[in-house]
Amino acid sequence: MSQEQVHSIAGFAVVERGGHGLERIVVTAPEADAEIYLQGAHVTRFQPNGRGSLLFLSEKSIFQSGKAIRGGVPIVFPWFGPNAADPKLPAHGFARTTRWDLSAIIRRGNRALIELALKASEATRKLWPHDFELRFRVTVGATLQMQLEVRNSGGTEFLFEEALHTYLAVKDVRQVAIGGLAGREYLDKVQGGKRIREGAQPIRITGETDRVYLATPDAVIVDDPAASRRLRVEKESSNATVVWNPWIAKAKALSDFGDDEWPAMLCVESADVGESAVTLRPGEVHTLCATVAVD
């Protein structure tokens, strides 16, 4: 295989400014198109050839410096949801709203490998007093492969939460069936964190859904009959799976989410949160991997 490592490959992967002024990497690989914003190392588009986009992106997304993008694959780090010690801190941490450095664009045959990096800084230490190094590797080919590497570069251990907050594009969430989570326990955040065991049948979305499934190493399959396709989310080094859809009322309450967009998306997040939060000693590395594909 040929391999080329640069910061732009004409006709294959280039860095440009989007219509809102934020820098993004536009990938036009032989097997798929993709877009990745440097702010948040945020994948906003992945479309295999001959297929519709596998990722949902809200038309109301706010593309501004320091603002989270609604849709695609936001990176959650170093805490999930509100900060437990200080709810005034940014929800889902700071990684998704911080500009990352582009380390390299690598061509490997028909695939593009994009690597981005984020290190602790004075700004991050004000929010989370630890030294760390993050590397996010995105491989664009017939599938979307993502690796989030967390390194403890400081002198003391730390505990962190993480998630690849994947927004899948579906035709009608009310018709989808979700497999791969049967029999697993989950925390139902809509019911105040109540602990429930999932049944044997595929999961159906019938209202606002916000669940953290525990001890979930298996792939999740989203059968989307209205779109005549099945989406698959596989993962490694992740012990939790978050399933989320805001439904009607919550969608209307979100300023960066269209009132009528909720049927077109379903979040299936590869995560380590709550009971599966990760502890790293100095020098240790943890790598969460997730792959999004269409069957």
Residues involved in catalysis:
165, 269
Q: Which residues contact 51 (CB under 8 A, 6 or more apart)?
A: 229, 294
Q: What is the DSSP letter of 29?
A: -
**From CA 144, how far away is CA 48, in angstroms rounded?**
9
Q: Which residues contact 84 (CB under 8 A, 6 or more apart)?
A: none
- Mapping DSSP onto H, E and C, the string for 93-119 reads ECHHHCECEEEEEEEECCEEEEEEEEE
Q: What SS3 state is found at 204?
A: coil
Nearest to 127 by CA among 157, 164, 163, 83: 83
Query: Helices marked H in the chain — which ranges?
Result: 122-127, 247-253
Question: Which pair of structure tokens corresponds to residue 138?
Answer: 């995105």
